[in-house]
Amino acid sequence: MIRILLFALLMIVFAGKGKAESIIDATEISFVRLSPDGDQLAYAKQKDSISEIYVKHSETRISQPFNLNQLKLNKHRLQNLQWVNKRVLLIELSQEVIGIGNLENTRSQIKRYLLKISEDQTTFNQFKEIESEGWISHIDAEKGRILFARSSRNSSVYSLNPDTILSAPSSTGKFRLIDAGEVTAKNKIQTTNGYVVRWFFHNNQPSAALKFTDTKVMELSQFNQQGERSVYTWKLGEEDEPTVSLDSLIPIGYNGTKDRYYATFKENDYNQTLYEIDYHSHSFTQLETHSDGKIIKLIQSQINHELIGATVINQGRIGDIYFSNNENNFELSDQLSVEIARSPNDTHTLRYTEASSHPGKFSIIDKNGRTTLQLMRLPHFDPTPYSQTDSRFINRDGQRINYFQTYPRNVAPQGLLVLIHGGPIGAYDTPYFDQQAEFFARQGLVVVRVNYRGSGGYGKAFLEAGKAEWSTGMLNDILASTQETLNTPRFKHLPVCIGGFSYGGYAAAQLAATHPEVFQCAFSAAGVSDLNLLMQDTSMSRRQFNWLMEQLGDAANEPEMLYRLSPVASINQDMGPLLIIHGSKDERAPVEHAYRLHNNAKSLGLPVTLVELADEDHYFDLPGSKQKVFSAISDFLKNAMQSRPKDSDTNR
């Protein structure tokens, strides 16, 4: 994620520096949605914290934007975008509301709005908030209605007419009708006793509900013209089922046939095995197995609910499995190609493709396999291949550690940057297009990204291997991958720096301090520098505190050991230059971490720079912040690598 190079060569290697810098805060297309007729795309265009909604009808016909700033919301992020009918869109925005003194009370505040586009499809001329509390359980694209759910002791689904809500006069009176009276008994289409966590639909009608009837009892109920009947009941809190059985399988999709559902094993969310359950005969059939994978979503026919396949992640790669005679056709590929959606009549599909050298595109494909409309993910970025990414791995302690090397194709690299992902648990890097890696590669750097133990995408066992390894196994995985890269003759004599964000910032500072013979410089952005300070955060809930104790291992109970494993204690006079970047309003890793690391480095006489961004949080999302952050990193790396001693690689 970060670049470095000798100044004189930098100007030659990267004459297009401005273009490379722009990729960091480039305008990005996201939330792409296929219209009910399969002919149009709705999408969000996002840059920094500014989001605009568009509808694209053809390669030359695009609507005027709807700027979400018109909604006058504070720090809400776009969470979802859906078509309701050919002229109405539904958007959902969320804001994290921090609990007072207890992060366990932290929740997401959801705002929902309807947007209506003009009849000529050129401008958005109406918008209205859906104020009722509840959640969107289904969109009836055929009738253009919203199926809105509310869960409590008695849970219900309502069928809302979006045009009625949009056309209702605005009023702030005491006796006004909320949402034009649409969320009332007249529009209730299904109700059931119990707290529903998942509704299942068939022919745009509620067909079943997975619900809690008691704190330790979960039930699957099915609805028909005769009423409601219980299909299956689970008693929670009992001994976990070690084997696959009806008690250990949780339905995630309706087959469309009475009593038949698709399910996964509840105790292993990384299991790629799908099952088809027949609750009438109390039997189940295994559909697909890929032991190290994780199911992301099911691919079903929109006509008859037949299971066509599934999108899965396996060995850090995402792909689609299509079922044909129950054969496993998942292929590990460094090129991403997945199905996003299908039109209600199955005549069109929306696919997304991406590769390490291509930032990605969305395509509508008709039933004859023809592409009818395309949309680039980074519309203002030149997609001409510049860098190349190679997938590599090493074996350590019985674990396969995967890492990626991204480097310029036609230019001799001038430095090596180890860019560490945050998380640390569950996050991961991919072999696909990475904007930060591309940014630094275009500045002449080799970028190494390591999926250390505890990273996601490689199965449950690998994820759990990260427990209690924050300061040991994870760091050693990064170090070993770096050393293996330096064994490559063309990379051996390059100056090496290390950096990262959040946990990546902690790891970078700690490794640079403990292995100055390998890392010439380091940057830590929004990083943790003092593990004791992390443990003393009084805003953590008991659950969060216990989780952190588990991740830190034995050291969590030993303040002295925690201190020794912290960058504030590990930094020493043998270290190279250090850059610290932090937001003044970071609530996840308070800016005090940056102050302590900076003060300790200064007291040792180390070349250290602190860049504090006023009003910024953990993510540097304010307009212009990403450009400031990466400009500071670029300048730092250039100068630090330029000052590398000629024999700095002799002790590696």
Q: Give me the DSSP letters along 584-618.
A: TT-SSS-THHHHHHHHHHHHTT--EEEEEETT--S
Position with higher pLDDT, 265 vs 28: 28
pLDDT of residue 3: 31
- HSE toward the beta carbon, residue 353, CA cutoff 13 A: 10
Confidence of residue 12 (pLDDT cuts 50, 70, 90): very low
Domain annotation covers residue 428: yes
Provide the domain count of the chain: 1
Domain annotation covers residue 153: no
Nearest to 357 by CA among 382, 337, 383: 383
For range 492-496, the mean pLDDT:
95
What letter does residue 49 receive in the DSSP assignment?
Answer: T
Q: What percent of the chain has pLDDT over 90?
A: 63
pLDDT at 652 over 80: no
pLDDT of residue 269: 53
Which DSSP helix (H) or strand (E) runs through 501?
strand 496-501
pLDDT at 13 over 50: no
Domain annotation covers residue 224: no
Q: Note the pLDDT tens digit of each residue in 218-270.
A: 999 999 989 999 999 998 876 555 688 899 899 988 888 888 999 887 755 55
Q: Note the pLDDT tens digit of each residue in 330-345.
A: 667 889 999 999 998 8
Highest mean pLDDT among 72-76, 268-272, 465-469, 510-514: 510-514
Is residue 18 exposed (0-12), middle (13-18) or buried (19+ Cβ within 10 Å)?
exposed
pLDDT of residue 2: 34
For range 370-393, the mean pLDDT:
91
Which single residue is written with the structure tokens 């991961």? Answer: 428
- What pTM was estimated for this model as a whole? 0.86
- Who's near 266: CB < 8 A, 6+ residues apart? 248, 249, 250
Which single residue is written with the structure tokens 């970060």? Answer: 2
pLDDT at 304 over 60: yes
Range of the domain at 486: 7-21+382-642
Domain annotation covers residue 357: no
The arrangement of strands across the sheet holding 371-376 comes to: 336-342, 348-355, 358-366, 371-376
For range 112-122, the mean pLDDT:
94
Distance CA 409, CA 444 (A): 10
At 532 the three-state DSSP class reads helix
pLDDT at 608 over 80: yes
Q: Note the pLDDT tens digit of each residue in 515-544.
A: 999 999 999 999 999 999 888 876 677 777
Tell me the CATH number at 593. Answer: 3.40.50.1820
For range 426-443, the mean pLDDT:
94
Distance CA 639, CA 591 (A): 25
Domain annotation covers residue 555: yes
- Who's near 546: CB < 8 A, 6+ residues apart? none
pLDDT of residue 106: 46
Q: For the chain, what is the mean pLDDT?
A: 87
3-class secondary structure for 172-219?
CCCCCCHHHHCCCHHHEEEEEECEEEEEEEECCEEEEEEEEEECCEEE
For range 6-35, the mean pLDDT:
59
| Strand pairing category for 521-525 and 578-583 | parallel
Q: Which of 325-334, 379-388, 566-575 has the lowest mean pLDDT?
A: 325-334
Q: Which of 22-31, 177-186, 394-403, 626-635 has the lowest mean pLDDT?
A: 22-31
Distance CA 87, CA 265 (A): 40
Burial 71-107 (b: 16+ CB within 10 A, else e): eeeeebbbeebbbbbebbbbbbbbeeeeeeeebeeee
For range 66-87, the mean pLDDT:
90
The one-letter code for the residue type at 528 is: V
Confidence of residue 298 (pLDDT cuts 50, 70, 90): confident
pLDDT at 327 over 90: no
pLDDT at 9 over 60: no
Distance CA 472, CA 219 (A): 44
Domain annotation covers residue 574: yes
Q: By the 8 A CB rule, do 94 and 74 touch?
A: no
Q: How many residues does the chain have?
A: 652
Q: By the 8 A CB rule, do 321 and 360 touch?
A: no
Which DSSP helix (H) or strand (E) runs through 439?
helix 435-441
Q: Which residues pair with 232 in a beta bridge?
A: 220
Q: By the 8 A CB rule, do 125 and 116 touch?
A: yes
Burial 401-426 (b: 16+ CB within 10 A, else e): bbbbbbbbeebebbbbbbbbbbbbbe
pLDDT of residue 528: 95
Burial 470-502 (b: 16+ CB within 10 A, else e): bbebbbbbbbbbbebbbeeeebeebbbbbbbbb
- Structure tokens that stand for 556 in this block: 């969590």
pLDDT of residue 511: 98
The arrangement of strands across the sheet holding 415-420 comes to: 387-396, 399-408, 445-451, 415-420, 496-501, 521-525, 578-583, 608-613
Distance CA 94, CA 588 (A): 18
- Structure tokens that stand for 326 in this block: 């129950």
The arrangement of strands across the sheet holding 41-47 comes to: 28-34, 41-47, 50-56, 66-67
Domain annotation covers residue 469: yes
For range 31-40, the mean pLDDT:
94
Position with higher pLDDT, 288 vs 455: 455
- Structure tokens that stand for 572 in this block: 């020493």
- Structure tokens that stand for 7 in this block: 């100044």
Q: Note the pLDDT tens digit of each residue in 550-562.
A: 778 776 678 888 8
For range 274-286, the mean pLDDT:
92
